[in-house]
């Protein structure tokens, strides 16, 4: 799933991917150099940003999600599609059917470069493995935006972040504190022990818990369900057995939270042990309605996709180059500013509860 990354597989595939990147990258280069002149458009390589530059039309914007057929990315990419088409450009989506096929992602980047796509919005399976291919793409005049999962900062122009890690971490603790009345034992159910984004959020959660208003809340354990339904089930069981006084569980992963919710719903802990975290409304609807879960949060992936699309077009039009402080308009979403390291942040997450969950469908 989008929220995590299995590092075990990553390390293995990374080695393969780098080799593939080198091999394929070389071929891609040979195939496209002669067309470079034709594609001198406004890209990062072109120099200074002109915020008033006209928005270009008839561009081809390709979305390369971490995994196709993943409901989360389908929603995000459909948001991107709508935005691309509203700007008068052409949208396309390509990608691997496995979320850990880094070599596959590399070859898609190379293919897109060869096909002379104008901009690529990619959700990277690995922060390093795509670098060679993406740099090659940028050199050939393709604008590169990452969304949901970033690469290293020098391998893309802008990263469209779903919400800042800090906001996500802190708001989940705030939500949990509200639900358990500010005191009691809590635990975290994460994905893989090595998932970078999970760990960043958890660090912010721990930091938030240091504040004096949470002095009665004690984080007793962080468990790892590896984003596997059965494992997350058993980890939830283990948490409740090991800590019978547990008041609440925070699960910052969509797979973890729905597994935990399904377990709680069918156990004696239903309604007694609170559960919050990051989940999608469709996954969680049944549990919110039957009283297992009060409220949880997530960003709106459709908006994330739309913002990635607007960012890609803004880059290709030369309105921004990815430098800190540049501003651009993203249609209905409003105005955004490029932050440090070329990061554009979507904003605070949305909280879903009984009152608003039916307004969302993803």
Partner 1 sequence: MTVTATPVREEAVPEPAAGRRLIDKVFKARELAVAAVLLVMLGATQLSNTEFLSEQGIKDLLLNATILVLVATGQAVVVITRNVDLSVGSVLGISAFAAGTYLQDGGSSLIAILLAVALGALFGALNGALVSLGKVPALVVTLGTLYIVRGIDSIWVGSQQITADDLPNGFVDFGHDGIWVVPYLALLALAVLAAVGYYLRSYRSGREMYALGSSPEAATLAGVPVRKRIMTAYVLCGALAGLAGALYLARFGNVDSATGSGYELTVVSAVVVGGVAFTGGSGSVYGAALGALLLTSINSVLPAIGVSSVWVTAINGILLLLAIAVDRILALRVAAVLRKQAAQLRSARHA
Q: List residues binding partner 1 (CB under 8 A).
A: 68-71, 73-74, 97, 193, 221, 223-226, 229-231, 233-235, 237-242, 244, 258-259, 262, 265-269, 282-283, 285-287, 289
Residue 346 is classified by DSSP as: -
> Closest separation between CB of residue 213 and partner 1, Å?
29
Which CB, 131 or 302, lies closer to partner 1?
302
- Given a contact cutoff of 8 angstroms between Cβ atoms, the answer to whether 80 and 306 are in contact is yes
Which CB, 262 or 317, lies closer to partner 1?
262
> Closest separation between CB of residue 324 and partner 1, Å?
35
DSSP secondary structure, 146-205, as one string: EESS---GGG-SEEEESS-HHHHHHHHHHHHHHHHTT-EEEEEEES-TT-HHHHHHHHHH
Which CB, 112 or 357, lies closer to partner 1?
357
- Given a contact cutoff of 8 angstroms between Cβ atoms, the answer to whether 44 and 322 are in contact is yes
Which CB, 208 or 227, lies closer to partner 1?
227
Question: For 355, how many CA atoms within 13 A lie in the half-sphere containing its CB?
Answer: 3
Whole-Å CA distances, 186 to 154, 177, 183, 218, 304: 39, 9, 9, 6, 30
> Closest separation between CB of residue 235 and partner 1, Å?
5
Which CB, 55 or 234, lies closer to partner 1?
234
Residue 357 is classified by DSSP as: G
Could you give the strand order of the β-sheet that contains 246-251, starting from the edge strand earlier in sequence?
217-224, 184-190, 246-251, 274-277
> Closest separation between CB of residue 17 and partner 1, Å?
21
> Closest separation between CB of residue 188 and partner 1, Å?
13
């Amino acid at each position: 799933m989008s929220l995590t990354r299995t590092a075990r597989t990553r390390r293995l595939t990374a080695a393969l991917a780098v080799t593939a990147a080198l091999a394929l990258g070389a071929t891609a280069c040979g195939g496209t150099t002669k067309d470079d002149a034709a594609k001198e458009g406004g890209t990062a390589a072109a120099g200074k940003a002109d915020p008033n530059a006209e928005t270009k039309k008839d561009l081809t914007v390709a979305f390369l999600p971490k995994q196709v057929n993943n409901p989360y990315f389908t929603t995000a990419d459909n948001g991107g599609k709508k935005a691309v088409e509203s700007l008068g450009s052409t949208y396309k989506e390509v990608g691997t059917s496995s979320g850990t096929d880094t070599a596959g992602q590399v070859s898609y980047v190379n293919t897109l470069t060869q096909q002379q796509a104008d901009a690529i919005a990619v959700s990277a399976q690995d922060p390093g493995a795509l670098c060679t291919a993406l740099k090659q793409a940028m050199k050939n005049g393709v604008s590169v935006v990452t969304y949901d999962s970033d690469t290293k900062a020098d391998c893309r122009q802008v990263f469209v972040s779903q919400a800042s890690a800090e906001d996500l971490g802190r708001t989940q603790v705030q939500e949990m504190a509200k639900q358990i009345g500010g005191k009691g034992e809590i635990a975290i159910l994460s994905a893989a022990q090595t998932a970078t984004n999970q760990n960043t959020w958890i660090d912010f959660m721990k930091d938030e818990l240091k504040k004096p208003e949470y002095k009665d809340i004690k984080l007793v354990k962080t468990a790892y369900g590896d984003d596997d339904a059965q494992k997350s089930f058993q980890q939830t069981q283990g948490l409740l057995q090991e800590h019978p006084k547990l008041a609440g569980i925070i699960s910052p992963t969509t797979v973890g939270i729905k597994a935990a919710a399904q377990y709680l719903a069918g156990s004696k802990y239903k309604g007694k042990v609170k559960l919050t975290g990051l989940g999608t409304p469709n996954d969680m609807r049944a549990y919110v309605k039957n009283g297992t879960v009060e409220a949880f949060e997530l960003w709106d992936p459709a908006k994330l996709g739309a913002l990635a699309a607007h960012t890609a077009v803004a880059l290709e039009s030369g309105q921004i180059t990815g430098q800190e402080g540049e501003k651009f308009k993203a249609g209905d979403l409003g105005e955004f500013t490029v932050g440090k390291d070329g990061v554009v942040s979507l904003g605070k997450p949305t909280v879903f509860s009984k009152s608003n969950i039916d307004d969302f469908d993803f």
